[in-house]
Amino acid sequence: HRIDKDTSGLLMVAKNDKAHESLARQLKDHTVTRRYVALVHGVISHDKGTIDAPIGRDPKNRQQMAVVFEYSKPAVSHFVVLERFKEHTLVELKLETGRTHQIRVHMKYIGHPLVGDPKYGPKSFFKIEGQALHAKTLGFTHPSTGEYLEFHAALPDDMEQILKRLRFGAFMEQ
């Protein structure tokens, strides 16, 4: 399990081969719970949705991924709108697959790139370290005990500050 550079939140790390094999199998079987929170540009009009669009290397820019239909792998992301603002939307996302830059690519594909995303989004005037994407929830079966564990991480301070400004209409360019 990995998260993109400049994405905050939870990570799963195996301490030994047995744990690695178990966790890798859970990821492959799609039994790991992974939920993310993202702040995106634009106002998403519907309350929830599923993006089922394959991802592969962008043929025009090999350093990026894109929704492409040749030489790609299936990718599915589900989202729920948490909060709407004048020009932004806060969403929670749940992944069925785990492709490179999946959330960032899928949200750009539907016309709502992540705030602060230097690779897939417009230049942002918010002060944020990287993109506004946070791995909020991670759940899996413990490799040794068989117990289901679920962990949650609060939003980082920079995302919280942006949300406060948006909620209270005190947004000003910095």
Burial bucket for residue 98 (CB in 10 Å: 0-12, 13-18, 19+): middle
Please report how many Cα atoms fall inside a 13 Å half-sphere around the Cα of residue 90, on the Cβ side.
Answer: 14
CA dist 80 and 101 (Å) reads 19
Residues 6+ apart with CB under 8 A from 97: 30, 73, 74, 75, 76, 77
| Residue 4 bears catalytic tag | yes
Q: Which of 4, 6, 58, 158 is catalytic?
A: 4
- H or E segment at 56? strand 55-58
Instruction: Point out the residues that are catalytic.
Output: 4
